[in-house]
Structure 1
Amino acid sequence: MKLKIKVLFAALFVTLNIFSQNTYVFLGSYNRDKSAEAIQIYQLDTLNGKLTKVTSAKNIVNPSYLTVSSNGKYVYACTDTKTPNAGSVSSFEFNPENKTLTFLNSQRSGGENPVYVSVHKNGKWLANANYTEGSVSVYPLLENGKIDSIAQNFHYSDGSVNKDRQTKSHVHSAVFSPQCDYLFLPDLGADKIRCYAFDANQKKPLIETSNPFTKTDLEAGPRHFTFHPNQKWGYCIEEMAGQISVYNYENGVLNKIQRIPTHSDKIKEGFESSDIHISPDGKFLYATNRGKENNIAIFTIDENGLLKNIGYQSTLGKHPRIFAIDESGKFLVASNVLTGNVIVFRRDSKTGLLKKIGKQIKMENVSCVQIKNI
């Protein structure tokens, strides 16, 4: 009897803890006006999809990409993006109780045009990808959430075959492996997915491996990368080719098993594929198309990791650069840069299809969205 009571109390505690969490949506933008709210945070009503504004931050330029610490306390941003002879990464502290977002500090990005930041699962390291100069930087994170000075910075000079877009390296993202023991760098300019081992206990954690990169198809333009929840497969979206390459993954090594278009058959050129994410249950993959098609391509994932396209969902705006799926898998939020609108979709867990809910919100040049339960 006592055991049953303990089990009931444990279940009640878990239930209360789940319902005590709130879902927050973090938005970044291309905004050179320091008086504007360049980062905005909203609370998502998980019943009706309504977004309610919580707080914002000003006095920063072009926070084009954001990431949130695992505990939801700190926000890290690529700042001074697309600013000549500049580039930085910045940290902020988010306090949902006080409804404040407080600037902590900035560090130089180690290259022009930072476009992607990732936090190590231990919360002690930040990785940043710089697009224009083709480089990666890693920084220690301090206990107070501030970013310490650069620990390592590597630049690349090699390009690929497209004379308009691939005269040199353009690192477009920096993605930790599921165990955070490797760091992957899709390089649009070089048609490579670069890789380093990552030793979080070292002062210089990036370590060269015997497999320093995986070559993609020529003129692929690898952009963003994600891993399946089972940690066996990796998926890379290729901006220039409008394709997704699927890889078996083990110990820092990628072996391609499939390549499949993100676009519908009616689009033959001018691809601008952008972002890629997998539902928490591992059953569906979503990818954004910009330009001639402004939509989210939806794929099923079979038992071998292979993809099958099952449809497209308009993002109801132009140029969907980044989207995010919440931790419950119930919602997908898309940001449209050119129309400056943010759309909430409810995700059907059985079919994988999306349905717009709630009212859209407007944010000029909105470029990034992240979601966190806190």
Structure 2
Amino acid sequence: MKKLLIVVLTLIPGLIFAQKKNMGPKSYDIIIGAYTSGKSSGLSVYRFYTESGRIAYLNRIDDVSNPSYVAVSANNKFVYAVNENDNGEVSAFKFEPKTGALTFINKVSTLGGAPCYVSVDKDQKNLFVANYSGGNIAVLPINVDGSIGAAVQTIKDDGHGINKERQEKAHVHTAVLSPDEKYVLYTDLGTDKINITKYKGGKNNPIVPSKPAFVSVTPGYGPRHLAFSNDKKYLYAIMEMGSAVLVYDYNNGKPKLKQDITLLADGFKGATGAADIHISPNGKFLYATNRGDANDISVFGINQENGELTFIERKPTGGKGPRNFAIDPTGRFIIIAHQNSDSIIVYKIDENTGKIGQAVSRAEVGNPVCIKFAPAM
């Protein structure tokens, strides 16, 4: 009996340590990108507390023009933000997680107008920027000190879609790395295509068109953002103009369409603008926002056997223009940014059903359009 007691007492510290390790940080930083008009003046940083969902202001950096989309480096030391203007630039910042301080490093051209999306590879070799009005994707190298080098490559889309007002030319919206980082996929709202490139990571022509080089969506759908399933087998694409989510089987850069599911309630009449799409950390649920007259978020269950979606609920987001949102790493809360009502709102999530519960926290932020989590080390 004494031997058994000794074994149990020996194991307890290890079990406690394992539990604490699995719990992850109790707090995170949230970095908020915005359009710098009205009440907004730049990038802001808030502290997010995972036990309560509470948020608290930490810091901000002014004089950053239209930082509408943000990426955080894998080592948590740098933040990159597009400057969504006609001339098109992207800025680098040194990031201090403890205080939320951002220090400007440098800014370079994206070789295209109105950049609206930026991503960074895990090895921190390159940035990938989508230029909306420029209709192209740009690749920019990252230096050891976190600064950005001049663009080494651009790939421009050509063509147009059936909507003469919105699809008069190419409008590239995202530049997303595949989970294995062997591919970079970028959506083109203007030509109704999801483009596929191979990523080799070299200094010269780091991305090259894959085979197939793209998949087309329903004419007039206007593809916007992408999300991969946690098991990497499925790709989900939100259609801005079509207010739908497309589900693809995904295998080594080859998406194959298997489902098209609407975000709209039966009989809905009014303006829409589907915006953002994310999957819960447990991989069981998909969330998608819709703007316009809808101003809601849809929740879908993900079939773990085939990746297909089943509608669960549609909930008003409590503000206007829910352009972007983020799910906290614990999976217990969702933060929604409302561009047109100057607010971010935190809601509780039921991890078992996926349903969105009551609001637990909110903050007034001018024109928020992007939210990114970073560990508060």
Counterpart in the other structure of 1:91: 92
1:59-138 to structure 2, matched below 5 A, reads 59-79=63-83, 81=84, 83-84=85-86, 86-138=87-139
Distance 2:122 2:350 in 1: 29
Instruction: Please tell me whether the aligned partners of residues 343 and 356 of structure 1 are also in contact (alpha carbons under 8 angstroms).
Output: no
Confirm or deny: 8 A CA contact 2:161 2:168 kept in the other structure: yes
Instruction: Describe how 1:309-320 pairs up with structure 2 within 5 A.
Output: 309-320=311-322
1:165 equivalenced with 2:166 (yes/no): yes
- Greater CA radius of gyration, 1 or 2? 2
The 10-residue stretch of structure 1 (14-23 or 169-178) with the greater mean CA deviation from structure 2: 14-23
Question: Post-superposition shift, 1:71?
Answer: 2.6
Quote the residue 1:30 is aligned against: 35
In the alignment, the residues of structure 2 paired with residue 163 and residue 231 of structure 1 have an alpha-carbon distance, to the nearest angstrom, of: 36
Report whether the alignment pairs 1:40 with 2:44: yes
2:350 maps to 1:348: yes
Superposition pairs of residues 45-56 of structure 1, within 5 angstroms? 45-56=49-60
Alpha-carbon separation, structure 2, partners of 1:69 and 1:352: 29
Structure 1 residue 315: Cα displacement: 1.1
> Aligned equivalents of 1:292 and 1:273: distance in 2?
11
CA deviation string 1:159-200 (max 9, x = no partner)? 111111111100011111110100111100000001100012
Q: Distance in 2 between matches of 1:77 and 1:153?
A: 18
- Could you tell me which runs of 5 or more consecutive residues in structure 1 were left unpaired when the two chains were aligned: none
Match of 1:321 in 2: 323
Amino acid at match of 1:199: K
Task: Indicate whether 1:371 and 2:373 are aligned.
Answer: yes
Letter in structure 2 aligned against 1:354 = I
Paired with 2:139 and 2:17, the residues of 1 have a C-alpha distance of 38
- Cα distance per residue 1:292-328 (max 9 Å; x no partner): 1111100001121111111112110000000011222
Give the structure, 1 or 2, with the largest relative contact order (CA under 8 Å, sep 6 or more): 2
CA RMSD of aligned residues (A): 2.1
Contiguous gaps of at least 5 residues in structure 2: none
Q: Would the alpha carbon gap of residues 254 and 328 (structure 1) be closer, same or farther in structure 2, given more than 3 Å must change?
A: same
Which SS does the other structure have where 2:210 is aligned?
A: coil
| Aligned-pair identity (%) | 35
TM-score by length of 2: 0.93
* Aligned-partner Cα distance in 2 for 1:77–1:340: 19
Equivalent residue pairs, number: 370
Runs of 4+ in 1 over 6 A off after TM superposition: 1-7
Partner secondary structure for residue 341 of structure 2: coil
- 2:53 partner letter: G
Q: Measure, in 1, the Cα distance between the counterparts of 2:75 and 2:88.
A: 26
